[in-house]
Amino acid sequence: MFKKVLIANRGEIAVRVIRTLRELGVPSVAVYSEADRSSLHVRLADEAVCIGPAMAKESYLVIPAIIAAAKVTGADAIHPGYGFLSENADFSAACRDNDIAFIGPSPKSIQQLGHKSEARKMAVKAGVPVTPGTKDCVSVKEAAAAAAKIGFPIMIKAAAGGGGKGIRIVREAGQLANEMNMASSEAKAAFGNGEVYFEKYIELPRHIEVQFARDMHGNVIAFPERDCSIQRRHQKLVEETPSPAVDKKLRAKLEKAAVDLAEAANYVGVGTVEFLLTQEGEFYFMEVNTRLQVEHPVTECVTGFDLVREQLLAASGEKLTYTGGHTVPLLGHSIEHRINAEDFSRNFAPSVGRIEEWLVPGGPGIRVDTHVYAGYNLPVYYDSMLAKLIIWAPTREQAVERSRRALAEFVVTGVKTTIDAHQLIVGSDAFRAGKTDTGFMERLLAPAEPVKAA
């Protein structure tokens, strides 16, 4: 195991990693921007190093500053968390070139699977079903012909993307040029890469993903699927495992597809394969996230695994905790609610300020992952997520009721949050029945039809 690990991230994921390191007896190093001096991850780490000004491009995205912090503190490994540099092949290579272990896949695996278009090619070779789309990235000149060949509606996607950025739905040819330019510009700003490709747009699918882990010894595990269909503007709000739409037979097919891709890429570490599941029960490969996902706690709750620990084991050359096969037992049901600093009553407008009251729910089957505390001043420069409320119960019905109870107990004052939105979600008949898809939030928030006069 490593002697000391630097966490190249902030917020709740940095806190999450520090806690596993502490259980393993491994010292931790936090890095922070000037805006994050009072953040909880700075307080909890064994050491902390300021790496720059508030803006991420001047701190959390500066590879030389992070490498220097690792060298100064004697860290022999870096955990990238999620977001920021977590799927950056150059960062993985910089760690390797400086004799620092990158707790994630190799630069080659990131390039192969992190680039969406290249990942599609690998999925085809591995025999994993993919949606109809372009074989390579598409230029402006090629756009019209490529879209006509696939057929509208199409989805424009950022090749180096993630987090819902660089995605546009185009339903007719007249919209194509403008939407493509917007997608490319957004992708360039977010990821430094404006390349895009096209996929056939599937109406109202479920968003299903399979977590996997693989070590240097060839041991690979595929964990039970997560359903991430409840989204707003391609941003996930609620995740659960297992999916209400997946039976044992389909689960086996999804897990095999994830294992086949991990093997094909000679992947080492933890990753996630994302799929679209049609209303008819057919699934298609979408992309691979070569990092830990925000929603990883629901998988931990139904399997008993610590996925950060599995990352550390894989990266240090040790075997995974479980080497008895490609799948693990499913224990109960788990739901995750992302609690953001957004004003639900004002179309999810950002909310900033000082946290006055911070009272989190408790009791059986409740976990809260957060970096927030009473008196904490929210920086305006980063993601709006305050906490993840994770619920576990023996059945889905019990998990839904436990969610209702926990959300009612969650008290935050000083800023607006999305707690009310989550209460609306779990109280809806469609959610309780497990009848969700990627259009769920649009329908839930649609204004009621006016009553016509007799």
CA distance 413 to 405: 19
- Write the pLDDT tens digit of every residue in 369-424: 999 999 999 999 999 999 999 999 999 999 999 999 999 999 999 999 999 999 99
Helix H or strand E encompassing 236: strand 235-241
pLDDT at 136: 85
pLDDT at 229: 97
Calculate ∠ Cα 373-375-378, nearest 5°: 80
Alpha helices in 127-247 (DSSP H): 140-150, 176-191
- The pLDDT of 337-351, averaged and rounded, is 95
CA-atom Rg of the chain in angstroms: 21
Q: Is 160 helix (H, G, I), strand (E, B) or coil?
A: coil
Average pLDDT, the chain: 94
pLDDT at 191: 83
Q: Which tops the pLDDT comparison, 431 or 120?
A: 431
User: DSSP assignment, residue 383?
Assistant: -
For residue 35, pLDDT beyond 60: yes
For residue 452, pLDDT beyond 80: no
For residue 319, the Cα-to-chain-centroid distance in whole angstroms is 25
Location of structure tokens 């992708």: 187
End-to-end CA distance of the chain: 74
pLDDT at 372: 95
- Strand-pairing partners, residue 342, are 350
Location of structure tokens 């921007």: 33
Nearest partner of 305 among 316, 321, 292, judged by Cα: 321
The band of 163, judged by pLDDT with boundaries at 50, 70 and 90, is low
- Write the pLDDT tens digit of every residue in 86-104: 999 999 999 999 999 999 9
pLDDT at 323: 81
pLDDT at 451: 53
pLDDT at 112: 87
CA distance 191 to 99: 26
- Write the pLDDT tens digit of every residue in 220-264: 999 999 999 999 988 999 999 999 999 999 999 999 999 999 999
CA distance 69 to 45: 14
For residue 162, pLDDT beyond 80: no
CA distance 185 to 308: 34
363: left (phi over 0), alpha (psi -120 to 50) or beta: left
**Parallel, antiparallel, or unpaired for β 28-33 and 235-241?**
unpaired
Name every residue whose Cβ is closer than 8 Å to that of residue 62 and which is 6 or more positions away in sequence.
51, 52
- Write the pLDDT tens digit of every residue in 178-212: 999 999 998 888 888 889 999 888 889 999 999 99
Q: What is the Cβ-side half-sphere exposure of residue 219, based on CA atoms within 13 angstroms?
A: 16
The band of 132, judged by pLDDT with boundaries at 50, 70 and 90, is confident
User: DSSP assignment, residue 377?
Assistant: B
For residue 129, the Cα-to-chain-centroid distance in whole angstroms is 22
User: DSSP assignment, residue 441?
Assistant: H
- Write the pLDDT tens digit of every residue in 258-315: 999 999 999 999 999 999 999 989 999 999 999 999 999 999 999 999 999 999 999 9
Contact 423, 407 (CB under 8 A): yes
The band of 449, judged by pLDDT with boundaries at 50, 70 and 90, is low
Amino acid at 182: M
CA distance 401 to 82: 30
- The pLDDT of 1-23, averaged and rounded, is 97
Q: How many percent of the chain have pLDDT more than 70?
A: 98
12: left (phi over 0), alpha (psi -120 to 50) or beta: alpha
Location of structure tokens 């996930």: 236
CA distance 41 to 46: 10
Separation in Å, CA 249 to CA 140, 222, 256, 333: 42, 14, 11, 18
CA distance 198 to 403: 38
Location of structure tokens 């209460």: 423
pLDDT at 89: 95
Location of structure tokens 């007799």: 454
CA distance 153 to 142: 17
For the annotated catalytic residues, the residue numbers are: 291
Q: Is 89 helix (H, G, I), strand (E, B) or coil?
A: helix
Enter the pTM of the model: 0.89
Tokens of 202: 């599937």
The band of 453, judged by pLDDT with boundaries at 50, 70 and 90, is low
| Other CB atoms within 10 A of residue 326 CB | 16
For residue 74, pLDDT beyond 70: yes
pLDDT at 188: 87
Q: Which domains are seen in the chain, by residue range? A: 5-103 (3.40.50.20), 132-200 (3.30.1490.20), 206-444 (3.30.470.20)
- Extended beta strands in 63-185, E state: 77-79, 101-102, 154-158, 168-170
